[in-house]
Amino acid sequence: MKAIIGRKVGMSQIFDANGQVIPVTVIEAGPCVVAQKKTAEKDGYKAVQLGYEDVSEKKLTKPEQGHFQKAGVAPKKYLKEFNLDNYEELNIGDIIKADTFAEGDHVDVTGISKGKGYAGVVKRHNAQRTPMSHGGGPVHRHAGSMGACSTPSRIFKGKIGAGHMGVEQVTVQNLDVVKVDPEMNMLVVRGAIPGPKGGVVYVHTTVKTIREKNTDVSISNNPQKASGRNPQKASARNK
Protein backbone atom coordinates (compact mmCIF):
# COMPACT_ATOMS: atom_id res chain seq x y z
CA MET A 1 0.00 0.00 0.00
CA LYS A 2 1.43 3.35 -1.14
CA ALA A 3 -0.45 6.64 -0.99
CA ILE A 4 -0.15 10.39 -1.47
CA ILE A 5 -2.37 13.49 -1.52
CA GLY A 6 -2.38 15.91 -4.44
CA ARG A 7 -4.33 18.18 -6.72
CA LYS A 8 -5.74 17.56 -10.16
CA VAL A 9 -3.98 19.79 -12.69
CA GLY A 10 -5.91 18.73 -15.79
CA MET A 11 -5.99 16.31 -18.70
CA SER A 12 -3.55 16.00 -21.56
CA GLN A 13 -2.21 13.35 -23.89
CA ILE A 14 1.16 11.76 -24.47
CA PHE A 15 2.54 9.30 -27.00
CA ASP A 16 4.08 5.97 -26.11
CA ALA A 17 7.05 4.28 -27.79
CA ASN A 18 4.78 2.84 -30.49
CA GLY A 19 3.29 6.22 -31.35
CA GLN A 20 -0.07 5.45 -29.74
CA VAL A 21 -1.79 8.40 -28.07
CA ILE A 22 -2.56 7.97 -24.35
CA PRO A 23 -5.15 10.22 -22.63
CA VAL A 24 -3.70 11.11 -19.23
CA THR A 25 -4.46 13.22 -16.17
CA VAL A 26 -1.69 15.21 -14.53
CA ILE A 27 -1.69 15.27 -10.72
CA GLU A 28 0.42 17.57 -8.56
CA ALA A 29 1.22 14.91 -5.96
CA GLY A 30 2.69 16.05 -2.65
CA PRO A 31 4.97 16.71 -1.06
CA CYS A 32 3.18 15.30 1.99
CA VAL A 33 4.46 15.19 5.56
CA VAL A 34 3.85 12.50 8.16
CA ALA A 35 1.84 14.32 10.84
CA GLN A 36 0.97 11.36 13.08
CA LYS A 37 1.43 7.60 13.45
CA LYS A 38 -1.44 5.55 14.82
CA THR A 39 -0.34 2.55 16.89
CA ALA A 40 -2.16 -0.65 17.74
CA GLU A 41 -1.38 -0.22 21.46
CA LYS A 42 -2.82 3.28 21.76
CA ASP A 43 -5.35 3.57 18.91
CA GLY A 44 -6.21 -0.05 18.16
CA TYR A 45 -4.91 0.03 14.60
CA LYS A 46 -1.87 1.04 12.58
CA ALA A 47 -1.99 3.95 10.16
CA VAL A 48 0.02 6.93 8.98
CA GLN A 49 -1.56 10.39 8.85
CA LEU A 50 -0.35 12.48 5.93
CA GLY A 51 -0.66 16.27 5.74
CA TYR A 52 -0.78 18.23 2.51
CA GLU A 53 -0.59 21.93 1.58
CA ASP A 54 0.61 24.57 4.01
CA VAL A 55 -1.99 26.76 5.68
CA SER A 56 -1.84 29.78 7.97
CA GLU A 57 -2.03 28.85 11.65
CA LYS A 58 -4.73 31.45 12.28
CA LYS A 59 -7.09 29.51 10.03
CA LEU A 60 -6.94 26.47 12.29
CA THR A 61 -8.80 25.75 15.50
CA LYS A 62 -6.96 25.49 18.82
CA PRO A 63 -7.06 21.65 18.81
CA GLU A 64 -5.72 21.58 15.25
CA GLN A 65 -2.90 23.97 16.16
CA GLY A 66 -2.00 21.79 19.14
CA HIS A 67 -2.02 18.69 16.93
CA PHE A 68 0.64 20.12 14.62
CA GLN A 69 2.66 21.67 17.44
CA LYS A 70 2.86 18.28 19.16
CA ALA A 71 4.10 16.70 15.93
CA GLY A 72 6.54 19.53 15.29
CA VAL A 73 5.43 19.99 11.67
CA ALA A 74 4.10 23.00 9.79
CA PRO A 75 0.28 23.35 9.76
CA LYS A 76 -1.37 21.54 6.87
CA LYS A 77 -4.76 22.11 5.27
CA TYR A 78 -5.59 18.49 4.43
CA LEU A 79 -5.07 15.39 6.57
CA LYS A 80 -5.71 11.80 5.58
CA GLU A 81 -4.87 8.44 7.13
CA PHE A 82 -3.46 5.53 5.12
CA ASN A 83 -2.38 2.03 6.06
CA LEU A 84 1.01 2.05 4.34
CA ASP A 85 3.31 -0.91 3.80
CA ASN A 86 6.37 1.00 5.00
CA TYR A 87 4.68 1.96 8.27
CA GLU A 88 7.63 0.83 10.39
CA GLU A 89 10.13 2.87 8.35
CA LEU A 90 8.25 6.18 8.53
CA ASN A 91 8.66 8.70 11.31
CA ILE A 92 6.78 11.89 12.15
CA GLY A 93 8.10 14.70 9.97
CA ASP A 94 9.17 12.48 7.06
CA ILE A 95 8.37 13.80 3.58
CA ILE A 96 6.59 11.67 0.97
CA LYS A 97 6.99 12.75 -2.64
CA ALA A 98 5.64 11.62 -5.98
CA ASP A 99 8.50 9.13 -6.41
CA THR A 100 6.78 6.86 -3.88
CA PHE A 101 5.04 5.58 -7.04
CA ALA A 102 6.75 4.23 -10.15
CA GLU A 103 5.76 3.84 -13.78
CA GLY A 104 3.51 0.85 -14.24
CA ASP A 105 1.91 1.00 -10.78
CA HIS A 106 -1.86 0.58 -10.58
CA VAL A 107 -3.65 3.14 -8.41
CA ASP A 108 -7.11 4.16 -7.22
CA VAL A 109 -7.88 7.89 -7.22
CA THR A 110 -10.52 9.37 -4.91
CA GLY A 111 -11.92 12.87 -5.29
CA ILE A 112 -15.07 14.99 -5.09
CA SER A 113 -16.99 15.03 -8.37
CA LYS A 114 -17.89 18.23 -10.17
CA GLY A 115 -21.04 19.99 -8.97
CA LYS A 116 -23.85 20.31 -11.53
CA GLY A 117 -26.24 22.36 -9.40
CA TYR A 118 -29.93 21.53 -9.09
CA ALA A 119 -30.83 19.04 -11.81
CA GLY A 120 -34.03 17.32 -12.89
CA VAL A 121 -34.71 13.62 -12.75
CA VAL A 122 -33.88 13.07 -16.44
CA LYS A 123 -30.40 14.58 -16.23
CA ARG A 124 -29.64 13.42 -12.70
CA HIS A 125 -30.80 9.80 -12.91
CA ASN A 126 -31.16 9.21 -16.68
CA ALA A 127 -34.93 8.79 -16.29
CA GLN A 128 -37.17 8.33 -19.33
CA ARG A 129 -39.35 11.12 -20.71
CA THR A 130 -43.09 10.79 -21.01
CA PRO A 131 -44.50 10.11 -24.53
CA MET A 132 -44.12 13.04 -26.90
CA SER A 133 -47.43 12.50 -28.73
CA HIS A 134 -50.70 14.44 -28.14
CA GLY A 135 -51.79 15.05 -24.65
CA GLY A 136 -48.35 14.96 -23.15
CA GLY A 137 -48.59 18.54 -22.04
CA PRO A 138 -45.61 20.52 -20.73
CA VAL A 139 -44.51 17.73 -18.39
CA HIS A 140 -42.34 15.56 -20.64
CA ARG A 141 -39.30 15.82 -18.35
CA HIS A 142 -41.16 15.76 -15.04
CA ALA A 143 -40.80 12.91 -12.59
CA GLY A 144 -44.47 12.00 -12.75
CA SER A 145 -46.44 10.07 -10.16
CA MET A 146 -44.24 8.23 -7.68
CA GLY A 147 -46.47 7.60 -4.66
CA ALA A 148 -48.02 4.22 -3.99
CA CYS A 149 -51.69 3.61 -3.13
CA SER A 150 -53.06 3.27 0.40
CA THR A 151 -50.52 0.54 1.02
CA PRO A 152 -47.91 1.68 2.04
CA SER A 153 -49.21 5.28 1.66
CA ARG A 154 -45.71 6.69 1.37
CA ILE A 155 -42.69 6.93 -0.94
CA PHE A 156 -39.86 4.55 -0.20
CA LYS A 157 -36.45 5.96 0.61
CA GLY A 158 -34.03 6.09 -2.30
CA LYS A 159 -36.63 7.00 -4.91
CA ILE A 160 -35.01 8.94 -7.73
CA GLY A 161 -35.93 12.58 -8.09
CA ALA A 162 -34.68 16.07 -8.80
CA GLY A 163 -32.03 17.53 -6.53
CA HIS A 164 -28.41 18.54 -6.07
CA MET A 165 -26.30 16.73 -8.68
CA GLY A 166 -22.61 15.99 -8.21
CA VAL A 167 -20.31 16.98 -5.33
CA GLU A 168 -20.04 13.35 -4.23
CA GLN A 169 -17.01 11.28 -3.32
CA VAL A 170 -16.03 9.19 -6.32
CA THR A 171 -13.23 6.64 -6.64
CA VAL A 172 -11.87 5.58 -10.02
CA GLN A 173 -10.10 2.24 -9.70
CA ASN A 174 -7.20 0.54 -11.41
CA LEU A 175 -5.57 3.41 -13.30
CA ASP A 176 -1.97 2.81 -14.31
CA VAL A 177 0.81 5.33 -13.67
CA VAL A 178 2.33 6.45 -16.96
CA LYS A 179 4.97 8.91 -15.77
CA VAL A 180 6.50 10.15 -12.50
CA ASP A 181 8.49 13.38 -12.08
CA PRO A 182 9.59 13.86 -8.43
CA GLU A 183 11.30 17.19 -9.15
CA MET A 184 8.03 18.74 -10.35
CA ASN A 185 5.87 16.69 -7.93
CA MET A 186 4.08 15.35 -10.99
CA LEU A 187 2.17 12.11 -11.28
CA VAL A 188 0.65 11.21 -14.65
CA VAL A 189 -2.04 8.51 -14.74
CA ARG A 190 -3.89 7.04 -17.68
CA GLY A 191 -7.53 8.10 -18.02
CA ALA A 192 -9.79 10.53 -16.20
CA ILE A 193 -10.13 11.14 -12.47
CA PRO A 194 -12.99 12.77 -10.54
CA GLY A 195 -13.21 16.45 -9.69
CA PRO A 196 -12.52 19.82 -11.32
CA LYS A 197 -9.12 21.28 -12.07
CA GLY A 198 -7.45 22.13 -8.79
CA GLY A 199 -9.53 19.65 -6.84
CA VAL A 200 -7.88 17.64 -4.07
CA VAL A 201 -7.44 13.93 -4.81
CA TYR A 202 -6.15 10.97 -2.82
CA VAL A 203 -3.99 8.49 -4.73
CA HIS A 204 -3.28 5.04 -3.31
CA THR A 205 -2.41 1.57 -4.49
CA THR A 206 -5.38 -0.12 -6.12
CA VAL A 207 -7.43 -2.64 -4.18
CA LYS A 208 -7.99 -4.61 -7.37
CA THR A 209 -6.14 -7.86 -7.97
CA ILE A 210 -3.90 -7.37 -10.99
CA ARG A 211 -3.54 -10.39 -13.23
CA GLU A 212 -1.40 -10.53 -16.33
CA LYS A 213 -3.42 -11.28 -19.42
CA ASN A 214 -2.56 -14.51 -21.22
CA THR A 215 -1.80 -13.59 -24.80
CA ASP A 216 -1.18 -17.18 -25.94
CA VAL A 217 -4.05 -18.58 -27.98
CA SER A 218 -4.30 -22.31 -27.36
CA ILE A 219 -6.67 -24.98 -28.59
CA SER A 220 -9.33 -25.96 -26.09
CA ASN A 221 -9.16 -29.46 -24.65
CA ASN A 222 -12.91 -29.58 -24.09
CA PRO A 223 -14.45 -31.67 -26.90
CA GLN A 224 -17.92 -30.25 -26.15
CA LYS A 225 -16.87 -26.62 -26.50
CA ALA A 226 -18.25 -25.09 -29.70
CA SER A 227 -15.67 -22.94 -31.48
CA GLY A 228 -15.19 -22.29 -35.16
CA ARG A 229 -11.45 -21.92 -34.60
CA ASN A 230 -11.04 -25.22 -32.75
CA PRO A 231 -10.41 -28.13 -35.16
CA GLN A 232 -10.40 -30.61 -32.28
CA LYS A 233 -14.02 -30.18 -31.26
CA ALA A 234 -16.29 -33.12 -31.72
CA SER A 235 -18.70 -31.42 -34.09
CA ALA A 236 -15.84 -30.41 -36.41
CA ARG A 237 -14.45 -33.95 -36.56
CA ASN A 238 -17.86 -35.37 -37.37
CA LYS A 239 -18.38 -33.15 -40.39
pLDDT at residue 237 in the model: 53
pLDDT at residue 147 in the model: 75
170 closest CA partner among 196, 144, 146, 189: 196
pLDDT at residue 93 in the model: 85
Beta bridge partners of 11: 25
Determine the residue type at 57. Answer: E
Condensed to tens digits (0 to 9), the pLDDT of residues 75-97 reads 999 999 988 888 888 888 888 88
Q: What is the pTM of this model?
A: 0.78
pLDDT at residue 213 in the model: 67
Report the alpha-carbon distance of residue 180 to residue 127 in Å, rounded: 42
Question: What is the side-by-side strand order in the sheet with 76-82?
Answer: 76-82, 47-54, 32-38, 95-96
Determine the residue type at 3. Answer: A
**Is residue 26 a contact partner of residue 12, using CB atoms and an 8 Å limit?**
yes
pLDDT at residue 238 in the model: 54
Assess whether the previous peptide bond of 63 is cis (omega < 30° from 0).
no
DSSP 16-46: -TTS-EEEEEEEEE--EEEEEEE-TTTTSS-
Residues of the chain with pLDDT under 70: 213-239
Determine the residue type at 184. Answer: M
Output the CATH code of domain 3-116+169-205: 2.40.30.10
Residue 123 neighbours by CB under 8 Å, 6+ apart = 116, 165
Residue 68's alpha-carbon distances to 4, 40, 91, 220, 221, in angstroms, are 19, 21, 14, 62, 64
Report the alpha-carbon distance of residue 175 to residue 155 in Å, rounded: 39
Residue 12 neighbours by CB under 8 Å, 6+ apart = 24, 25, 26
pLDDT at residue 217 in the model: 57
For residue 35, the tally of other CB atoms under 10 A from its CB is: 24
pLDDT at residue 224 in the model: 59
For residue 204, the tally of other CB atoms under 10 A from its CB is: 20
Domain ranges of the chain: 3-116+169-205, 117-165
201 closest CA partner among 166, 164, 169: 169
Report the alpha-carbon distance of residue 237 to residue 228 in Å, rounded: 12
